[in-house]
Amino acid sequence: MTDNAHNGGTESHETGDHDDGGHLPPKSSVKRWLVTTNHKDIGILYMITALFFLIFGGILAFMIRMQLWQSGPFILTDLGYNQIVTAHGLLMVFWFLSPFAFGLANYLVPLQIGADDLAFPRLNAMSYWLYLFSGVLLGISFFQGSSLPTGWTLYAPLNLPAFIPPVAELGSLSAIIALALFVASVTIGSVNFLTTMYRMRAEGLRMRDIPLFSISILLTVWMMLFAFAALLAALMLLSFDHVFAGEVGTGYFGSEEGGSLLWTHLFWFFGHPEVYIVFFPALGVMAEVVQTFSGRRLVGRKWFIIAMALVAIQSFIVWMHHMFLTSINLPIKTVMMVTTIGISLPFDLMVFALIYTMIKGRVRWKTPFLFVLGAILLFILGGITGVFLGAIVLDYSFRGTYWVVAHFHYVMASGAVALVGGIYYWYPKITGKMYNEFLGKVHFVAAFIGFNMLYFPMFIVWDTPRRWFHYSGTVAPKIPFTDITLFTTGFTIWHQVATVGAFLFGGSFLIMFYNLFVSLYSDRVVDESPWAYTGSAEWAVSSPPPEGNFPGTPSFATGKLSFLDGTELTDGGEAKTDGGVADAVAHEQHADHTSWWPLVLSLTALLTGLGISGLETAYFVWPFLFSIPLFVAAIGVVGARRDGFTPIHGAFMGASMPILGAFALVFHLHHGVPGGLAEANEYFWLTLAGVGTGMVTLVTMGYESFEVPTPRRSEQWPFEGVTNTKLGMWVFLGSDIILFGAFIGSYIFMRINAGWTNWHHIAETNGLVSHPILPGLINTYLLLASSFTVVLALAYAKRGSRRGTLGALAVTFAGATLFLLNKGIEWVDLYIHQGWQFDSGPAASTFYLTTGLHAAHVVVGMLIMLFLIARAYTGAYWSDGEQAHTIEYFGLYWHFVDIVWLFLFPLFYVLF
């Protein structure tokens, strides 16, 4: 729901009427942190929460290391070890590394590009709350018997109910849904950051001149946008398998038609870019810190950026190097080996640029620099050992060993070390206080020694099988591919060294926490910048920065940062007073977007996710169906409160009851009322509470203002001429293309595996009697007609025609209703009459789930249409031509749904 009730949901150059949610309470108030949408507050929330998950994941790491203290059974059960290895990986990769970087990004990117805030502040708050609650759901999964025990890669078929111990079934699905919620958070964040960075840069700030940390975030969110959509597809397919088709030979990942291999394709298409998603922000930190403490601009800055962009693109064509030991063919392995070796070259350039900058500059050995230098050294070792894994023949031996564990910890954890450098670097900016330099250096020494004690022995005992809870302690480590014994001692002693290192590394962070906490209350106050050399805009404002970020409208038009009455920052030089810029426009007030709804909506997502984890298959659709009349009634009630009561609101309130009655009747026929309700388990009620409350919250949010005003003078290349919301919608659709594409790609993959022309035969073997083209053709007509009418609604709204706008929207809604009706008739015939069910083989699963995902998009579109109709009735969209944009934004979504069907129709009907 993207409507803006107060400024028409359009690009506004006014501050707008942001009356919802009241003013931002002071920082000492708990309420502030629950309702805030300010990017700096959200950034702090992200960082603190990510550090909490670091501790969570770190404690699990200690448990792993304790278990490996000796070669046989020790403190953990086998299942317990598997859960902990899985959760440790998931927490560190998903809930610590990226979110911590995005805490910094939230705080710094708007400051670095000269924006007041992110483009969609409430969505930003929702990103955070979804992130937090997704992590909470992962934590809850431990209390549902057992959490997911598969390893962070969730390899199939071990990720299926058939292979998961019964005690872990609920917790496993919760963990999978937690990941899906996390992806939702990431996708919303990606849309927000891309829109902001392309549309809200200060005047004169070209894309290429954005500070390097922000550039790294820009490339990271591009990768996130596409990579996480593939993960979401994989998680949705896996959830389908868990709920409807978990047995071997059914569904997706248990299918004989390449099911296990399909998981690895989808997972690593996401998973390899994820490595760079995690590491790029650390690279940005490295670049900023190296510049500041070398006292000069990065050598080869342009090439550094080009190299990062190359890596971001290449990251999507190397994924099968994680699959050398699967059944994929040799030619594709060779291609992937070449692209993998190729991707190391831009990294070489980046590392050389950083090192050469240090050589050319005059290094000041402050704590942030020490951490970054340490991270570069660790990354070099991690990178070189990774090249071994990129070579097919070597990988045959190294795969599944501690060589891999050591390698990726040297890469991932070196990213964490660089981010710690970032904490020290920006701590004075965020808090206004200086940390204790001596304690910072002590932390670095302890962390660096601990890190290497922890991870380097893993190279020595590289032959230890990865993820095993027991290992052979007496075997002497050997040099890879030789019989040369490295040490006569067995594996155990090296694992014990690693365990001691783990405690030293982990314990060093206590020094950091102590240092940062005590420094908060110290008298080491800093002004704009504590560093002798800085080059980005955040250092030109007070520490911490003011609510609205800048003392005036920031502009780089003269080649230097200047404000109306403020300071000027030379490129790569000192912050200094300018004395004012005569032609700058008045600085716009920082809009107040405080709102409870991002928190509430995310909480309802948590309830829904937890509910689904235990929802019985027979009851699966009902919480969602019962929530629809609630949504309809909410439009009536909330709309009447906001726009004044009109007949349309009465109609919505009135219509909700017959809809509820109709659903109740069908429920009664299936399960019996009240008997069926009494038999429903607690997860049914949990889901109902979650979805129901979520529906009402969505309507309420739909009436709130949505975006911040675009600055009058901002750089918008290459997206001039589109509004923020339109760009945001297109960016979201870019992600949705991958989501649907992954579904369609999975279908094509399984069909190729089965033999393309053999597909129909497989379906018939599994119970299909008849699957005519006609229902698909009728639905194609209906969707094309609805696309036509929604574009007419836009045309009529622009002409100011109330009747035309309302009529076209109503016809569009009717077309969508007929589409679903037709689909319902078709599914009843296939599913009930022919007995061709969700788990009736790969042809059935791919058909129902792919067209089902599309139908879900149609339903979401219909709910939005109801909202638009209610608002159009009361004068929105058509009475002011500018407001018609809201219909255009919805139209983009609806046409996209149409386009998807244009491919589903031939693939699932004509060519079936």
Binding positions for another protein, rule: CB under 8 A? 226, 230, 258, 261-262, 265-266, 269, 316-317, 319-320, 323, 327-329, 332, 718-722, 727, 730-731, 733-738, 740-742, 744-745, 748-749, 752-753, 756-757, 773, 776-777, 780-781, 784-785, 787-788, 791-792, 795, 798, 888, 891-892, 895-896, 898-899, 902-903, 905-907, 909-911
In order of 11, 645, 803, the CA distances from 874 in angstroms are 21, 9, 12
Name residue 329's amino acid.
N
Residue 96 or 740 having the CB closest to another protein: 740
Residue 155 or 503 having the CB closest to another protein: 155
CA 434 to chain centre: 33
Scan for tokens 């963990």, then name that residue.
175
In order of 137, 207, 302, 572, the CA distances from 296 in angstroms are 46, 21, 15, 7
Assigned token pair, 441: 């250096």
Contact in structure between 44 and 99 (CB atoms under 8 Å): no
Torsion sign, CA atoms 407, 411, 416, 421: positive
DSSP conformation class of 488:
S
Contact in structure between 113 and 714 (CB atoms under 8 Å): no
Residue 210 or 512 having the CB closest to another protein: 210
The least distance separating another protein from the CB of residue 108, rounded to whole angstroms, comes to: 25
CA–CA separation, 32 and 52 (whole Å): 20
Residue 329 or 474 having the CB closest to another protein: 329
CA–CA separation, 728 and 741 (whole Å): 20
The least distance separating another protein from the CB of residue 785, rounded to whole angstroms, comes to: 7
The least distance separating another protein from the CB of residue 734, rounded to whole angstroms, comes to: 4
Contact in structure between 148 and 83 (CB atoms under 8 Å): yes
Q: Enumerate the β-bridge partners of residue 525.
A: 433
The least distance separating another protein from the CB of residue 35, rounded to whole angstroms, comes to: 33
The least distance separating another protein from the CB of residue 192, rounded to whole angstroms, comes to: 15
The candidate with the shortest Cα–Cα distance to 405, out of 382, 387, 426, 425, is 382
The least distance separating another protein from the CB of residue 471, rounded to whole angstroms, comes to: 33
The C-alpha angle with vertex 296 and arms to 293 and 301, in degrees rounded to 5, equals 110
Name residue 910's amino acid.
V
Residue 265 or 642 having the CB closest to another protein: 265
The least distance separating another protein from the CB of residue 816, rounded to whole angstroms, comes to: 16
DSSP conformation class of 672:
-
The least distance separating another protein from the CB of residue 302, rounded to whole angstroms, comes to: 21
Beta strands 714-715 and 575-577 are unpaired
The least distance separating another protein from the CB of residue 243, rounded to whole angstroms, comes to: 24
The least distance separating another protein from the CB of residue 788, rounded to whole angstroms, comes to: 4
CA–CA separation, 321 and 526 (whole Å): 48
Residue 693 or 779 having the CB closest to another protein: 779
Assigned token pair, 61: 């790491």
Assigned token pair, 481: 């591919």
The least distance separating another protein from the CB of residue 193, rounded to whole angstroms, comes to: 14
Residue 248 or 777 having the CB closest to another protein: 777
Residue 81 or 268 having the CB closest to another protein: 268
Assigned token pair, 790: 């929604």
Count how many residues are written for the chain. Answer: 912
Residue 265 or 823 having the CB closest to another protein: 265
CA–CA separation, 698 and 694 (whole Å): 6
Residue 496 or 801 having the CB closest to another protein: 801
The least distance separating another protein from the CB of residue 877, rounded to whole angstroms, comes to: 15
Residue 336 or 417 having the CB closest to another protein: 336
CA–CA separation, 831 and 13 (whole Å): 53
CA–CA separation, 863 and 105 (whole Å): 34
**Taking the CA of residue 329 as centre, how many other CA atoms within 13 Å lie in the half-sphere pointing to its CB?**
3
Residue 167 or 910 having the CB closest to another protein: 910
The least distance separating another protein from the CB of residue 834, rounded to whole angstroms, comes to: 21
Residue 34 or 748 having the CB closest to another protein: 748
Assigned token pair, 403: 């060589």
Residue 66 or 748 having the CB closest to another protein: 748
Residue 792 or 870 having the CB closest to another protein: 792
CA–CA separation, 569 and 211 (whole Å): 13
DSSP conformation class of 26:
P
The least distance separating another protein from the CB of residue 132, rounded to whole angstroms, comes to: 29
In sequence order, which residues have a C-beta less than 8 Å from that of residue 867 and are 6 or more positions away? 1, 3, 635, 699, 702
The least distance separating another protein from the CB of residue 332, rounded to whole angstroms, comes to: 4
DSSP code string of 570-605:
-TTS-EEE----TTPPPPPPPP----SHHHHHHHHH
Contact in structure between 645 and 873 (CB atoms under 8 Å): no
The least distance separating another protein from the CB of residue 226, rounded to whole angstroms, comes to: 5
Q: Environment class of residue 454 by beta-carbon count within 10 Å: exposed (0-12), middle (13-18) or buried (19+)?
A: buried
The candidate with the shortest Cα–Cα distance to 193, out of 108, 276, 253, is 108
Residue 294 or 789 having the CB closest to another protein: 789
The least distance separating another protein from the CB of residue 52, rounded to whole angstroms, comes to: 33
In order of 337, 386, 398, 463, the CA distances from 481 in angstroms are 20, 17, 10, 11
Residue 752 or 860 having the CB closest to another protein: 752
The least distance separating another protein from the CB of residue 749, rounded to whole angstroms, comes to: 5
130: left (phi over 0), alpha (psi -120 to 50) or beta: alpha
For 715, the enclosing helix (H) or strand (E) is strand 714-715
Scan for tokens 């009902």, then name that residue.
622
Residue 226 or 451 having the CB closest to another protein: 226
- Helices of type H across 461-554: 491-520
In order of 30, 200, 458, 477, 749, the CA distances from 385 in angstroms are 47, 41, 12, 17, 32
| Rg of the chain taking only CA atoms, in angstroms | 28
